[in-house]
Amino acid sequence: MKAMKKLVYILTLLFIPIFLAGCESKLLVFDPKGPIARSLTDLIVYSISFMLVIVIVIFVLFSYIVWKYRARKDDGDFEPKEEKGNHWLEITWFTIPVIIVIALMIPTTKTIYEVEDIPQGYEEEEPLVIHVTSADWKWIFSYPEQNIETVNYINIPADHPVQFKMTSAGTMQSFWVPELGGQKYTMANMQTNLFLVADKPGSFYGRNTSFNGRGYAHMEFEVQAQTQDDFNEWVNDVKTTAIDLTEDKYAEILEPGNLGRMTFNKTHLEWVNHAHGGSEKYIDSELYEISHDDEEHEEESEDTDEQIEESNTEVEEDTSDSTDADHSHH
């Protein structure tokens, strides 16, 4: 008996946080910074309200029944009546979930279609096209119109639609910027599409969510939304100061390892688009061999590589470097 009271008490305490989840505005998913993420958050909050009702109904019923019909010391002879079931009751608890599913399904379907396209209000604008190439374990972003390429960060104009054409140079990855929108996989020999819009200038955390080997945990990037003027200025800066991307340099970037940020003139799309094949020649399985002995040593050498590359190629430029890719709100 005491045990049961404790159970109910503790479980209630434990589940309070989930009741509060809806209003917890600090969590990234509940803190959208663009129209697409906002429609996802709206859907999530809508669904949570239903779930809360279900949870409360079941918890209350459960606690009441378990409490009320507990065995007592003095009712040892009490023989509960057999019950076959009750058609009306059973039809009721069949119908209610059906209604809930319908109520959830309609906005879900609407949102699924909605987020596949340029968000409402931006249909007239020509989206900025960015090619995303994910590799082990870095993100490569190509701006074909501007003819520039970045690694592990993207600058985009705020309040303007961006179309990501995504592919992978090898393993399967998933491109996710939670504050701007949902995620989608990147796959070699395939192209997936994603639209994102940032309301206002700001810095947003992005990462790979699909496990793809040793460097996975650090496979992050920053999305920096800027005013259109700042963005144009940044593009011009890159064009005048950054070095040209060469085929050799590109092959080097694709070698497995984590990298810092890089910026280049020209894009690799000139010689290979991984969405249309051609990845094999960059894949060298020997570079993926593991030896527990050398682990630390390897990581060290990667680090020094990074530093050299960064100092050679990084454009020292205010807007792209002022913030790190992290949750600024924490």
Partner 1 sequence: MSLDEFFVTGDPMIFASQIAIGLTMVGLIALITYLKRWKWLWSEWFTTVDHKKIGIMYILAGVLMFFRGGVDGLLMKAQTSRPEMGILDAQHYDEIFTTHGVIMILFMAMPLLIGIMNVVVPLQIGARDVAFPKLNALSFWLFFVAAMLFNISFVIGGSPDAGWTSYFPLAGKEFTPGVGNNYYAISLQIAGIGTLATGINFVVTIIKMRAPGMSWMKMPIFVWTTFITSIIIVAAFPIFTVALLYMTLDRLFGTHFFTVAAGGDPMLWLNLFWLWGHPEVYIVVLPAFGMFSEVIATFARKNLYGYKSMVYAVAGIAFLSMLVWVHHFYTMGNSATVNSIFSLTTMMIAIPTGVKIFNWLFTLRKGRIEFSTSMLWALAFIPCFTIGGVTGVMLAMAAADYQYHNTMFLVAHFHYVLIPGVVFAVFAGLYYWWPKMFGFKLNEKIGKWHFWLFVIGFNLTFMPMFFVGLDGMSRRMYTYAESTGWGAWLGFSAVGSLIMAAGFAALVYNIYWSFRYASRKVGNDPWNARTLEWATASPAPHYNFAKVPEVDRLDDFWYKKKKGETGLKKSDLKPVHMPSNSWTPIVLAAAFGVVGFFLVFEWFTLAIIASVGIVVGLVANTFDYDDGYHIPVDELEEEEREWRGDLK
Question: Scanning residues 36 to 65, which ones bind partner 1 (CB under 8 A)?
Answer: 37, 39-41, 43-44, 47-48, 51, 54-55, 58-59, 61-62, 65
Instruction: Please report how close the Cβ of residue 189 comes to partner 1 at its closest, in angstroms.
Output: 7
Within 8 A by CB and 6+ apart from 324, the residues are 203, 222
How many alpha carbons fall within 13 Å on the CB side of residue 318?
A: 4
Asked whether the beta carbons of 167 and 274 are under 8 A apart, the reply is yes
Q: 281 with 250: CB under 8 angstroms?
A: no
CB atoms within 10 A of CB 31: 15
The closest alpha carbon to 259, from 219, 225, 224, 312, belongs to 219
Query: Shortest gap between Cβ of 234 and partner 1 (angstroms)?
Result: 24
Residues 6+ apart with CB under 8 A from 237: 315, 317
Residue 134 carries which side chain, given as an amino acid letter? S
Q: Which residue has the tokens 């020094």?
A: 304
Find the binding residues for partner 1 in span 137-196 (CB under 8 A).
Answer: 170-172, 174, 176, 178, 181-185, 187-190, 192-193
**CB-nearer residue toward partner 1: 182 or 260:** 182
Instruction: Show the binding pattern over residues 90-129: x = contacts partner 1 (CB under 8 A), - = does not.
Output: x--xx-xxx-xx--xx--xx-xxxxxx-------------
Q: Does 251 bind partner 1 (CB under 8 A)?
A: no
* Adjacent-strand bridge partners of 185: 174
Q: Are 151 and 141 in contact (CB under 8 A)?
A: yes
Q: How far is the CB of 182 from partner 1 (least distance, A)?
A: 2
Q: Which is nearer to partner 1, 145 or 299 (CB)?
A: 299
Nearer to partner 1 among residue 109 and residue 232 (C-beta): 109
Contacts with partner 1 in 187-246 (CB under 8 A)?
187-190, 192-193, 205, 207-217
Question: Contact region for partner 1 (CB under 8 A) — 72-80, 146-154, 241-249, 263-271?
Answer: 72-80
Question: By C-beta, is 104 or 269 nearer to partner 1?
Answer: 104
Residue 165's φ and ψ, nearest 5 degrees, are: -105, 110
Shortest reach from residue 217's CB to partner 1, in Å: 4
User: What does the chain come to in residues?
Assistant: 330
Q: Among residues 103 and 246, whose Cβ is nearest to partner 1?
A: 103
Q: What's the closest the beta carbon of residue 131 comes to partner 1, in angstroms? A: 15
